[in-house]
Amino acid sequence: MQATEIKTATGKYSKIITDEDFTKFQNYFSEQKVIVIIDENIFDLYPFFRKFNCIKICADEKNKTLKTVENIISQLIELQADRSTFIAGVGGGITCDIAGFTASIYMRGLRFGFVSTSLLSQVDASIGGKNGVNFDRFKNMIGTFNQPEFVICDTNMLATLPQNEFIGGLSEIIKIALIKDSEMFDFIECNTDVILKRNKTILQKLIAKSIQHKADIVNSDEFEKGARRILNFGHTLAHAIERNSDISHGFAVSIGIMFAAKISKHFNLISNDDVVRIKNLLSNLGLPLHTDINDEILFRTIIADKKKSDDEINFVLIKETGKPFEKNIKISDFKYLISIFK
């Protein structure tokens, strides 16, 4: 068991525990009354959780809505949840987002924590206190910053993760490596085969490193006013792809990473050899590199994104592996870049 702490400037505290048996999650809170908001697939796979009051949800992007939150709140009322109730979100990124958001607004806020069951959630989505839902298919348009008290990441649970979801989670690990850790990128390059075989030792190392890097960033910038923006690397295009297709978040991020790498080369921040390395790594892990979605559709979605300010878009690039670079790109220029690089 290894613990990483997030303690922000506002005093909010979160503990991320890696390689911990998920059945020990009750050790991290003292409340007698706990209600579990759980992915219905996890509920079927792990009978352990059936001893608790559970609210099951269908964890996909189409259900990540205020309507789902309203349904959960109705069930919380039926279960007589009050301010002494602890909410445990059990599932992947979508489940944790919904559970954290619901806990943050019910009765003006309940304590909550997560058992994170997917790779993407363990390395990114459940870490850092962002909770929210989509609106009219705009990603995470409604939400809060509120830290879970704990996040348990049991790598044994990844054994039941479908292969596409596992591969999709690797894109967030690659993202972290590209913006924070060149040695980690080299390590992934040299270990693609064993990573795809879900070698537990290797995964634990990559998950722990990813969590530590993200925790360091969140500790310095909880509300995404500065340093935390680098975590958006690959995500501007990714969110537009998700809104206009059924492509999963992890796969969309892979395409977004490739797009950002090409633009980094366009601005002479990285070499063509760097672009080829990134392309080969994504491809070797089974991740996609491009999208066929219409340029105009992507552009119109992106200019409605939270990252747009006036006539510019804040876009995260890299100037070498492990070193991010933020650039404000004129909207008119960005439209051209989509047309030649996406």
- The residues that are catalytic are 108, 130, 172, 214, 224, 228, 232, 235, 239, 249
Taking the C-alpha atoms of residue 18 and residue 215, their distance in angstroms, rounded to an integer, is 13
Are 302 and 308 in contact by the 8 Å Cβ rule? The answer is: yes
Taking the C-alpha atoms of residue 193 and residue 281, their distance in angstroms, rounded to an integer, is 11
Give me Rg for the CA atoms of the chain. Answer: 19
What amino acid is encoded at 166 in this protein? Answer: F
Taking the C-alpha atoms of residue 89 and residue 55, their distance in angstroms, rounded to an integer, is 10
What amino acid is encoded at 91 in this protein? Answer: G
Closest CA to 247 of 186, 165, 136: 165
